[in-house]
Structure 1
Amino acid sequence: MDDLHNRLSAHPHNVADMHLSNDRQSVDQRETVGANITSVSSRIEGLHAPKRRKNHFRYRSRQEIASFMLKEAESGALRSRIQYRAYLSSQQLKSYLEFLTANGLIEYNSNDRRYYTTQKGHDLIQACERLAGAIQPNTESSRGESGVGS
């Protein structure tokens, strides 16, 4: 047994060094493969995904989601297009479409399988845009030039 140990330790490439060498090679290979996968996936995401703002997946109100869905369906949109563009699950989409249809804001055309925004829906979009414009903070007044608190 000691003879085997002496022969292995005397050999320049003993078994322990071989295992370490193989481990280092496999780690290097995994890092290279991982870097390649990351590079390819980031290129694919860049091709297909829109540039996202910071805090893109923040909480959205029901009004924001409904308004976005109505805007998406203005010129007619398939169910899947509305779902993907609004970042909704199929259950959420079903719920919103039922609500919007029941309230006459959106209608389904079974001939071309598309959803279209109704006139009532267009009116709601315009009202939401006017409201959003009215509550946007004025940059001058938000700097304290309004005299409030002076």
Structure 2
Amino acid sequence: MKNRSRLDIAATILDIAQDGAIKTRIMYEAFLSFPQVKEYLGLLQANGALEYAPDENKYYTTPRGRSFLLGYKEIGRLLSPKSSRLALSRLGMEETAVSG
């Protein structure tokens, strides 16, 4: 697997957690170790991009996290149109037209 940036990993976690996900699912789907997933979950929660629902034992992407995902997708498209389409397809994100 290609080395991923911290932003790539954060975007992957936020994508996985959009409909709610337990820590184990995030760890396996994002290909992270337990210490790594703990670090990223803490970082994303501290920045308001992810929230934990203790009654469900799940993490959810917040509106701020979804906004980050949209920005991440757009930056990727601007910097490298061909490779960003591949990365976005891996994240399950479809390209959308942006008016501007």
Identify the structure with bigger relative contact order (alpha carbons < 8 Å, sequence gap 6+): 2
Runs of 4+ in 1 over 6 A off after TM superposition: none
| TM-score (ref. length: structure 1) | 0.53
- Percentage of matched positions with identical amino acids: 38
Which residues in structure 2 correspond to 1:56-71 (within 5 Å)? 57-71=1-15
Confirm or deny that 1:86 pairs with 2:86: no
What do the CA deviations read for 1:31-60 (whole angstroms, capped 9, x no partner)? xxxxxxxxxxxxxxxxxxxxxxxxxx1110
Counterpart AA for 1:124: F
Unaligned stretches of 5+ residues in structure 2: 83-100
CA distance in 1, matches of 2:39, 2:55: 22
Aligned counterpart for 1:121 among listed residues 65, 69, 76: 65
Deviations 1:38-94 (A, max 9, x none): xxxxxxxxxxxxxxxxxxx11100000000000000000010000000000000000
Cα separation, 1, equivalents of 2:29 and 2:22? 11
**C-alpha root-mean-square deviation of aligned residues, in Å?**
1.0
**What is aligned with 1:104?**
48
Number of residue pairs the alignment of both structures matches: 82
2:18 is paired with a residue whose SS is: coil
